[in-house]
Structures are given as C-alpha cells and as structure tokens.
Amino acid sequence: MPQLNGGGGDELGANDELISFKDEGEQEEKISENVSAERDLDDVKSSLVNESENNSSSSDSEQTERRPQPRADLESYEKAREYFTEALRRQQDGGFFKSPHYPGYPFLMIPDLTNPYLSSGALSPSARTYLQMKWPLLDVPGTAVLRDSRSPTPGQLVSGRDLDLTRSRSFFQSNKVPVVQHAHMHPLTPLITYSNEHFSPGTPPAHLSPEILDPKTGIPRTPHPSELSPYYPLSPGAMGQIPHPLGWLVPQQGQPMYPITAGGFRHPYPALAMNASMSSLVSSHFSPHIVPHHHHGLHQTGIPHPAIVSAAIKQEPNGELSPAANTKSPVSTKKEEDKKPHIKKPLNAFMLYMKEMRAKVVAECTLKESAAINQILGRRWHSLSREEQAKYYELARKERQLHSQLYPGWSARDNYGKRKKRKRDNKTDSTPEDFSARNKKPCVQYLPQEKMIDSPASSHGSMLDSPATPSAALASPAAPAPTHSEQAQPLSLTTKPDRHHHFPLLSKPSSSSSSSSSSASSSSYQPTSASGRQSTPPLLSRPLPLASLHASLLSPPSPFHQAALHSHHALFQSQPLSLVTKSAD
DNA sequence: TTGCCTTTGAAGTGC
DNA sequence: GCACTTCAAAGGCAA
C-alpha cells in the first residue's frame, strides 16, 4: 500500500492522501452518507419489522411513524455539513493539510475523530490521546476549523445544551466527565462539544505548544497538567516509569508521561519507546518542543484511561495498582484481585470505528438502540474503503501495542469472567432453522440471485477493504507484525497487480467459527495466494446476519467497492452456491 | 438493577 | 491449526 509506505514518497503519498481527504466527492459522500444512514435505518427497521411481522402487521404507516427525524433536519444537516466541509477545505487549502506528517496516518479525519469520542458527550481520553499522539499537529486545523467555523454563528451552531457543556468544562478539568447524551444530536454537535470539551474556542490543544491559551483571557499560559491527556494514565502510586511509545510525547527530561505500575513495568522500554513507525511519526515532523512538559510525575488529568475500569482507582486515589497481589496469601490475593483494576481490552478497529461513528449515526437518525446502530455501523464498516479501514486497523494496532506496553502482564484472559457470563442459551445447539428464527428473518429469499452472488463481496466488504498490515513502515520492526493487522487486500487482485505479495496475508488464521470450512469467500480471496492455505477471512468468521446482508446489498457500494464487487463477482461465480447456502442459514 | 441485544476484531481455550 | 468463546463500546429495553 504505497500510501502507507513510510519510506520515500512521503510527500507524494501525503499528497495522495490529501487529495483523498480533500476529495471533492467528500461532500457528496457526506450527503450520500445521510441518505445511506436513512437507508440503513430503513433497512434495520424493515428488518426489525420483518422479524416481527409474524406477530405484528406493521403497516407502512407505522414504519413511517418510526422513521427518524424529519427531512428538515436532514436539510439543515446538509447545509451545516457543507458549511463545515467548505470551511475545512479552506483550511486545508490554506496549507494546514498540505501533507500528512505521518504517512501511516494519512487519513486526516479530524472531523470524524471528533465525533466518536464524543458519543457520550465527552471526548474520551483515548480520543484525545489519539489526537495528541497521532496527529499532534494535524488537529490544529481541525481545531482551527472548529473555531473558525463556529465563530461566525456561534449562537446558531451551539445549542443551549452545548453551552451548558461549555459551562461545565470545569467538570472535565476536575476529572468529572459529564456524560451528556444528545438525544437529537445536531450534526455539528460533535464538533462543538469536542471543542467545548477539549478545544474550547481560542484554546489550542495543550500538546501543540508548551503553553496554551487561557480560555478566559486568551493569554498563553503553561498548561495545567489536568489539561493534558495521557494515554493510559495510571494512578501515580507504586508506579514505575515508562517512556511513552511515541517518543515525541515523552517529556524530554525524564519526566514520566505514563507512569505505570511497578509490577507492570520492570524497565523502561527505550526500544519500544520508538519503533520504526513511531520514529517516522516523530522524525522531523514533531520536534520535542511541541511536547508539553510535565513537571511532576503525577499523571496529568487523573482521568483514568478507558481501558481501566477500576473501583480501586476510584477508591484509591493514590492508585495502588498492585499487580503484586499474586505474591500474597490466597485470601488477600482475592481481596487484591477485587481491588485490582479492571484493565479493559484495547479496542479493536471496529470498536474504534464504532466509537467514532456512533454519534454520527445517532445524529443522522433517531435510533438510540445500540443494537440497531451497531448493525448500521457494521454495514458501514464493510462499506468503508480500504484506506479508511486501514486507519482504524492501524489505530487499533497502536492501541494494542501501547496497551501491551503499559500492561505487559495483562492478558485478555484476565477479563474473562469479569462480566456476567453471557447467556448463551441454545445458540450452539440450535438448528439453523432455530438460528434464523431466533435471530434474523431470512432475507436471502428476497434477493435476486445475482445479488446473492455478489453478496459476499458486499457484505464482506471489510474483507475487501480491510487493510493489509497497515504498512511495512508502520509495522514496527521491534513489534512483531501482529496477525490481527494482517488483513487481506483482495482488491489488490484486481487493481493492484503488484500487490500480490500481500496475498500471504490472506492466510490470517481464522479467529472463529462457522463459515470457514465451506466459505466460498475464503477460497476466492486467495485465488493466487502463495500460501495456498485455505484461510477464513475474518469477516466470514461468523454467519452474516441476513438482515445485514440484505441491507448491505442495498447499500450502494463505493466506487472502490464496485470495483471490488465486480472482481469478486467473477471470483464468486465459481462458488456461488456455498455462499447462498451460507447466507440461507 | 441487571443482562441482552448487535456489530467486528482480538485473543484465549480446548481439542 | 481449527473451532469456539469471551470481551471490548453503547444505550435502549425487558425481566
């Protein structure tokens, strides 16, 4: 993937990405996105209706009633979107986005980035961290855009609730993150709230400069530690020190940016602190002087990283994260375990995407039910371009990397059983009929044969689009290329003839279930695979909900997708039956 | 109050 | 190595 190559062609790649980002079609995309959202919603609802049609004769009028918000809102959304898009473009043309500073993050989704982490009214620490860590400069335009865009008509754009948010900024800084769910979120709300929360008007991100502007006076001042967002902030007590994996964020004078449990880190990670990708990130683009210095070892915000959900942290301000619990007696060990912070799994690519896009989807439709929203998001995920998905895969990879550095001993296993065991009822032993009856009303029967053939390409769009290992440049030589990021690039089959070296990546071991052995897609994804191994594309790992399949078929594929669909159509021609069988399940 | 729903992906377990 | 399970987020909803 040239655009991800960290090596030469940096600027070229950057320009390419810039073009991509600035694509004139962006607005159309946004518009069609709204339309798509409506369609998604319709799909979901109709599938819901279908599911329940046996026990309810939902009329069209009912559907109409349940339909999301009035078109008038959409129109205003469109105008607002255009306004922002135009503003953003102007900013970009102004030179802010001339080139990505980090080839691995060429997707300057500043506006989008604002969304996700605002889904609950607050920019999550991780989001801020991503902004800080990964786009330390790139978010400047975003901020500027926000400011510039908002400034002309603040009264129009900032709702009273958002103003309330502004007033409640102190809560953020006092580590009380309000959870404000915008029932009917204005499309601009995410940006506004984002700004309110983190980048208040006239307040550039703290990381941009050692000093920030006082929100009240506008006078530059030294950032208060609480305004700086560590990535995995841990409570200071009993903590060692860890150089941040992104070196440019690490204070230069040995000040620990990311303290960590003593047990968690036995030594600093100079090697881990900067791998190839990170160094490319750091390189000449981000000189350390932009990094705010922290003058004490305490972490800055006290806001626990989302990965840490711990009563211990809440209850023990001194944050005795005691991994040493295992050295104590069984009784105390149990106690300690109870106190032990619950370190959450790092978010995967889709989760990151969900966080980012949820608010958007919620804003675009009146759906509040996460299950339905997630269905939409799932389909949108499939419809994402390879590059877009690659961004999230890379993001997730970084997150995992950082997570593993911060919690070396942590295992996903640690969280097993932390939740109440999910009621698996009869899923495993249910017959396919049971499954379909219990979960989704089969939609395949309504699909034209051709679409059924196409469906895998469409419904497994992320496979089509899923990134290969984001890039060799990004993949840290120090960090073994994780298999999770080794996504196939089926499109390369047709559009990137020189990419067949990615095919071995197709051999990513299936992580799960059902459809692997008979998956038509799996074979079609590696027609020329050097591995020759029949692997299951991740997206085929579980039966595709038929409603989703149906809906995704109805969703107009992007040009990228269309090309992929075309090629895959041909590929699937040889084995359409197994697909149909799969779908029919 | 608690768990389910729903999505994808990562990682763990068991055979 | 494969199949399967669990968890991560989210918030409405049902029990």
pLDDT digits (tens, 9 = 90+) for A457-499: 333 333 333 343 333 333 333 333 333 333 333 322 222 223 3
DSSP states of A23-39 as a string? -THHHHHHHHHHHHHHH
Residue A418's pLDDT is 73
Which strand C bases fall within 7 angstroms of a protein CB?
A: 1-13
Segment of A37-46, A131-140, A309-318, A407-416 carrying the highest mean pLDDT = A407-416
Distance (Å, rounded) from C-alpha A403 to C-alpha A410? 9
Residue A326's pLDDT is 38
Residue A331's pLDDT is 54
| Nearest protein residue, CA measured to C1' of C6 | A416
Residue A329's pLDDT is 53
* CA atom of A92 to C1′ atom of C14, Å: 49
Mean of the pLDDT values across residues A548-568? Answer: 38
Residue A298's pLDDT is 33
For residue A390, pLDDT over 60 is answered with yes
Mean of the pLDDT values across residues A238-244? Answer: 35
* CA atom of A286 to C1′ atom of B6, Å: 40
Residue A308's pLDDT is 58
Mean of the pLDDT values across residues A233-246? Answer: 35
Confidence class for position A283, pLDDT limits 50, 70, 90: very low
For residue A116, pLDDT over 50 is answered with no
Distance (Å, rounded) from C-alpha A49 to C-alpha A45? 6
For residue A449, pLDDT over 60 is answered with no
pLDDT higher for A343 or A135? A343
| Contacts of A306 by beta carbon, 8 Å cutoff, 6+ apart | A124, A125, A126, A344
Establish whether the CB of A484 is closer than 7 Å to any nucleic acid atom in strand C. no
**CA of A371: nucleotide with nearest C1':** B6
A444-468: burial string, b at 16+ Cβ within 10 Å, e else = beebeeebbbbbbbbbbbbbbbbbb
- Residue pair A237/A318 in contact (Cβ under 8 Å)? The answer is yes
Counting beta carbons within 10 angstroms of the beta carbon of residue A261, is it exposed (0 to 12), middle (13 to 18) or buried (19 or more)? buried
For residue A362, pLDDT over 60 is answered with yes
Percent of chain A with pLDDT over 90: 5
Find the helix or strand (DSSP H, E) in which A240 lies: strand A239-240
| Structure tokens belonging to residue A142 | 């975003």
Residue A416's pLDDT is 83
Q: Which residues pair with A212 in a beta bridge?
A: A221
Find the helix or strand (DSSP H, E) in which A430 lies: none
| Structure tokens belonging to residue A432 | 């396919």
Confidence class for position A232, pLDDT limits 50, 70, 90: very low
Residue A352's pLDDT is 94
For residue A398, pLDDT over 50 is answered with yes
| Contacts of A237 by beta carbon, 8 Å cutoff, 6+ apart | A316, A318, A319, A320, A321
For residue A210, pLDDT over 70 is answered with no
* CA atom of A196 to C1′ atom of B6, Å: 31
Distance (Å, rounded) from C-alpha A405 to C-alpha A272? 8
Segment of A236-245, A272-281, A306-315, A369-378 carrying the highest mean pLDDT = A369-378
Which strand B bases fall within 7 angstroms of a protein CB?
A: 2-13
* CA atom of A463 to C1′ atom of C4, Å: 21
Segment of A127-131, A227-231, A333-337, A567-571 carrying the highest mean pLDDT = A333-337
The A 147-176 residues near strand C by Cβ under 7 Å are none
- Residue pair A108/A390 in contact (Cβ under 8 Å)? The answer is no
Mean of the pLDDT values across residues A337-347? Answer: 77
For residue A244, pLDDT over 90 is answered with no
| Contacts of A251 by beta carbon, 8 Å cutoff, 6+ apart | A257, A291, A292, A293, A294
**Distance of alpha carbon A384 from the chain centroid:** 12
Residue A107's pLDDT is 37
pLDDT higher for A306 or A265? A306
Mean of the pLDDT values across residues A325-350? Answer: 67
**Rounded to whole angstroms, what are the CA distances from A98 to A106, A263, A329, A507?**
11, 44, 59, 37
* CA atom of A303 to C1′ atom of C3, Å: 40
Confidence class for position A346, pLDDT limits 50, 70, 90: very high
Segment of A24-28, A158-162, A478-482 carrying the highest mean pLDDT = A24-28
Residue A44's pLDDT is 52
pTM for this structure? 0.42
Distance (Å, rounded) from C-alpha A179 to C-alpha A175? 12
The A 365-384 residues near strand C by Cβ under 7 Å are 368-371, 374
Confidence class for position A264, pLDDT limits 50, 70, 90: very low
Residue A484's pLDDT is 33
For residue A134, pLDDT over 80 is answered with no
pLDDT higher for A276 or A331? A331
Q: Over the stretch A49-65, which tens digit does the pLDDT of each residue have?
A: 444 333 333 333 333 33
For residue A359, pLDDT over 60 is answered with yes
Mean of the pLDDT values across residues A68-93? Answer: 39
| Structure tokens belonging to residue A299 | 């972490």
H runs (alpha helix) in A23-159: 25-51, 60-66, 71-91, 110-114, 125-134, 139-150, 154-157
Q: How many CB atoms lie within 10 A of CB A267?
A: 8
Residue A392's pLDDT is 93
Residue A351's pLDDT is 93
**CA of A420: nucleotide with nearest C1':** B3
| Structure tokens belonging to residue A125 | 């620490």
Mean of the pLDDT values across residues A269-277? Answer: 33
Mean of the pLDDT values across residues A531-558? Answer: 35
pLDDT higher for A339 or A233? A339
3-state secondary structure (DSSP) of residue A481: coil
3-state secondary structure (DSSP) of residue A309: strand
- Amino acid identity, position A277: S
Distance (Å, rounded) from C-alpha A336 to C-alpha A326? 8
Q: Report helix angle A370-383 to A349-364, nearest 10.
A: 110
**CA of A416: nucleotide with nearest C1':** C6
Confidence class for position A413, pLDDT limits 50, 70, 90: confident
Residue A336's pLDDT is 59
Tell me the pLDDT of chain A averaged across its residues.
43
Residue A421's pLDDT is 55
The A 110-129 residues near strand C by Cβ under 7 Å are 119-120, 124
For residue A253, pLDDT over 90 is answered with no
Q: How many residues does the structure list for chain A?
A: 585
Residue A408's pLDDT is 83
